[in-house]
Structure 1
Amino acid sequence: MMKNLVSALCGLAIVGAAGLAQAQTPPATPAAPMSAAAATPPAAKADLQAGFVKSVRGSVQLLSGSGDTRAASPGDALGAVDRIVTGPDSSASVVLRDDTTLVVGPSSRLDLKEFHFDGTTHEGGMLLSLLRGSMRMITGLIGKSNPDAVRVETQTATIGIRGTDFIVQADAQP
């Protein structure tokens, strides 16, 4: 089973990485009517957006910090405090603003508990919580410049990042 999981995660990561060289930002969307969120200054929006969904396979849901749930699609924004939930035989690839790539495997639940990044100074930090399932992480600028600022929690451990590419698996029950 682990071999199949690693193959699935690596396959999706390769698909995601191939497109990563072509576009680091989500595709442009048509202009929408002005709303309160649209009136937010660009710098404040960037702080709220942690990254975007690069690719989706199967059933993937995004739950925002405010409790809104939506089906994930490529190009969707990921907030600084969001949850990614994948169904069986499903997976998602996410690219964060510091170029960290996350590949979330089947039957997984991953919380982005904290994310902040300054594109000018390259300072920031992130805290992820893998509640169940599996995740592959390829660290970006935060992990490369300050590994102590990147943490991954599971139900039984908190992982400090010392490498740049790794896979974490968490069972549903400890």
Structure 2
Amino acid sequence: MTYPHLIVASVLALTAVTAQAQAPATASQPEPVATAPTPASPAVQPPRQAGFVKTLKGNVQVQGPEANAVARPAQAGDLLLPGGRITTGPDSAASVVLRDGTTLVVGPSSQLDLKAFSFDATTHDGNLLASLLKGSLRMITGLLGKSHPEAVRVETQFAFVGVRGTDFIVQADEQP
């Protein structure tokens, strides 16, 4: 497949998954599964969820931010933490909705690290740093991107993208 055809195929796949992600939800946002309390230092807080996997198609893997985390098959409703990773296989895609309403649509054969995410729902302050290691990403910004666009960035191997609009697509190839 030639390079222009690959981009067109990626955009079409992203558009289809985005349409599913923007469809009215029949259920509310999934709640985290309760776990047994573990002893912890009062100064150490677990990372707050960044968002959740809304829709997926094909082979999609999620990985937590822990150093020893292992990638596992994703399911709709899985939580994504800051520092987490989403990996999609060929002919696969996933949409992730972050707490500020930002939608990330990860295209086929892609790898996305959510390096940082914080959001204060009262002040709309925070930051978002996503690293697209390979593949394609469509981002539809939420409250953070609308209130503080300078706080939203996407990096690739060769460039940083600063957000000045509300909807864009980034393609990252493994070779220059």
In the TM superposition, residue 36 of structure 1 has moved relative to its aligned partner by: 2.2
Which of 113, 124, 130 is the equivalent residue of 1:111? 113
Deviation at 1:23, TM superposition (A): 4.8
Which portions of structure 1, spanning 4 or more consecutive aligned residues, are displaced by more than 3 angstroms?
A: none
Give the counterpart of 2:9 among 4, 7, 12: 4
**Distance (Å, rounded) in 2 between the aligned partners of 1:118 and 1:78:** 17
In the alignment, which residue of structure 1 is the partner of 2:23?
A: 18
Show the counterpart of 2:65: 65
Q: Which residue of 1 aligns with 2:94?
A: 92
Structure 2 letter corresponding to 1:141? L
Question: Aligned residues: percent identity?
Answer: 56
Normalising by structure 1, what TM-score? 0.88
The unaligned stretches of length 5 or more in structure 1 are none
Equivalent residue, structure 2, for 1:133: 135
TM-score of the superposed pair, with normalisation by structure 2: 0.87
1:23-51: CA deviations, max 9, x gaps?
5512x47x6552429x999xx56x52000
Measure how far apart 1:136 and its partner are. Answer: 0.2
Q: Distance in 1 between matches of 2:140 and 2:57?
A: 19
Gaps of 5+ in 2: none
Distance in 2 between the 1:71 and 1:100 partners?
23
Question: When the two structures are aligned, how many residues end up with a matched partner?
Answer: 167
**Which residue of structure 2 lines up, in the alignment, with residue 169 of structure 1?**
171
